[in-house]
């Protein structure tokens, strides 16, 4: 895919368009196909992609545009590139422009502080704890936006990094009210836990006493291992772990866990998609989930999700 950045701040456009320091990235030969709301078409005789970008940049509610180079037409849209439901596809005569001058990613009053992707062979826990890795405030132009889409997991994100917000470094100095832990498959949330974030720090909110609600209700029963650092030995790394007793691999059960390295001491005994790439985001569809078909329990087998997101809500 061909990209280039437009820095509109230095553009001097002849007829006084109000161009401030908005930045856009252009994805060439790409068109928006669904999930967008048109603000309006802009028609001018001398329309160019720069004029189109300037037009979008000067309107607060405009976050994307597409420019048709054959018809010299420009259409403005309100969604952001990361909004769920926004889909793009290749199209020879269209170029897509999207705003990248956001400080952070927000949706309905929540701010995204972390997004991890399955099977990219990069540790979720290392990314979570690595304070040198920061991708927002403002969003980094170099960060692959495919990896930030809340709508779907694009395969072009594979091999790239997990998204990590500056807010993780400043958690203690941020007025965190609630924390939302979410597992996604495509754009669909398949499991969540909502936590009370008051007075927490980066590594302490993920605990049973702070659970407000979840896919499995407000109370998680008989959990024995819960935590972000989770259960780890030289042979195992289960992070963001909500797990029952360690009764031997086949009879174990879980609400959710991240298998965060290739190796898990139970890979050979579990009937789960582990051992061929990591991270693997495991969760239960309802109640507890088994790790093996040979389990003494009658729970359903755990499922695997595509992505893990952590959102925070600040005090009003
Ligand atoms: C240009 O935009 C800025 C910020 O939106 C606004 O304050 C200013 O009044 C605008 N100027 C003109 C000439 O429209
Ligand atoms: C995210 O950015 C917006 C706009 O700059 C800001 O108002 C908001 O406080 C930021 N949220 C957090 C949690 O930093
Ligand atoms: C992750 O590692 C496994 C095993 O070495 C390999 O098969 C897989 O292709 C790797 N995935 C990526 C995205 O590099
Ligand atoms: C708790 O989550 C469930 C979905 O699992 C939802 O239906 C319910 O409204 C939530 N309850 C509260 C108090 O937020």
Domain boundaries, the chain: 3-99, 102-316
Q: Is the CB of 58 under 6 A from ligand 4?
A: no
Contact assessment for residue 96 and residue 87, using Cβ atoms and an 8 Å cutoff: no
Q: Is the CB of 275 under 6 A from ligand 3?
A: no
CB atoms within 10 A of CB 252: 23
Task: Report the C-alpha gap between 102 and 108 in whole angstroms.
Answer: 15
Give the length of the chain.
316
Contact assessment for residue 264 and residue 233, using Cβ atoms and an 8 Å cutoff: no
Architecture of the domain delimited by 3-99 = 3-Layer(bba) Sandwich (3.50)
Q: Which residue has the higher pLDDT, 25 or 30?
A: 30
Contact assessment for residue 181 and residue 192, using Cβ atoms and an 8 Å cutoff: yes
| Pocket lined around ligand 1, Cβ cut-off 6 Å | 18, 20
Task: Report the C-alpha gap between 101 and 21 in whole angstroms.
Answer: 9
**pLDDT for residue 21:** 52
CA of 59 to the centre of ligand 1 (A): 10
Instruction: Give per-residue pLDDT as tens, 176-229.
Output: 999 999 999 988 999 999 999 999 999 999 999 999 999 999 999 999 999 999
Q: Which ligand is located closest to the Cα atom of residue 313? A: 2
Q: Which ligand is located closest to the Cα atom of residue 171? A: 2
pLDDT-derived band at 101 (thresholds 50, 70, 90) equals confident
Instruction: Give per-residue pLDDT as tens, 288-306.
Output: 999 999 999 999 999 999 9
Among 23-27, 62-66, 246-250, 257-261, the minimum mean pLDDT is found in: 23-27
Residue 145 scores a pLDDT above 80: no
Ligand 1 atom with minimal separation from the 60 CA: 5
CA of 262 to the centre of ligand 3 (A): 9
Q: Which ligand is located closest to the Cα atom of residue 214? A: 4
Instruction: Give per-residue pLDDT as tens, 220-256.
Output: 999 999 999 999 998 999 999 999 999 999 999 999 9
Q: Which residue has the higher pLDDT, 101 or 5?
A: 101
CA of 102 to the centre of ligand 2 (A): 9
**pLDDT for residue 293:** 97
CA of 213 to the centre of ligand 4 (A): 6
Region 24-42: mean pLDDT is 93
């Amino acid at each position: 895919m061909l990209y280039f950045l437009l820095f509109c701040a230095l553009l001097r456009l002849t007829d006084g368009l109000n161009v401030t320091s908005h930045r856009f990235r252009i994805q060439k030969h790409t068109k928006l196909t669904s999930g967008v709301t048109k603000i309006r078409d802009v028609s001018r005789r001398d329309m160019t992609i720069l004029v189109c970008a300037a037009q979008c940049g000067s309107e607060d509610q405009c976050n994307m545009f597409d420019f048709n180079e054959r018809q010299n037409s420009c259409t403005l849209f309100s969604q952001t590139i990361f909004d769920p439901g926004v889909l793009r596809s290749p199209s020879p005569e269209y170029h897509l422009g999207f705003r990248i001058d956001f400080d952070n990613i927000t949706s309905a009053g929540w701010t995204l502080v972390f997004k991890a992707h399955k099977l990219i062979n990069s540790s979720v826990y290392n990314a979570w704890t690595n304070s040198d890795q920061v991708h927002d405030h403002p969003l980094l132009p170099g960060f692959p936006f495919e990896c930030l889409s809340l709508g779907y997991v694009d395969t072009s994100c594979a091999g790239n990094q997990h998204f990590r917000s500056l807010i993780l470094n400043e958690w203690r100095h941020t007025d965190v009210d609630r924390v939302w832990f979410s597992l996604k498959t495509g754009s669909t949330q398949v499991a969540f836990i909502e936590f009370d974030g008051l007075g927490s720090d980066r590594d302490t909110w993920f605990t049973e006493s702070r659970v407000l609600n979840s896919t499995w209700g407000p109370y998680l029963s008989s959990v024995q291992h819960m935590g972000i650092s989770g259960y780890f030995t030289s042979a195992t790394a289960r992070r963001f772990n909500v797990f029952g007793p360690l009764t031997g691999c086949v009879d174990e059960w879980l609400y959710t866990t991240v298998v965060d390295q290739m190796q898990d001491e139970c890979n050979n005994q579990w009937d789960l998609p582990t051992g061929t790439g990591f991270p693997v985001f495991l969760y239960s569809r309802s109640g507890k989930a088994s790790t093996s078909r040979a389990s003494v329990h009658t729970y359903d087998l755990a499922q695997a999700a595509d992505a893990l997101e952590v959102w925070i809500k600040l005090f009003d």
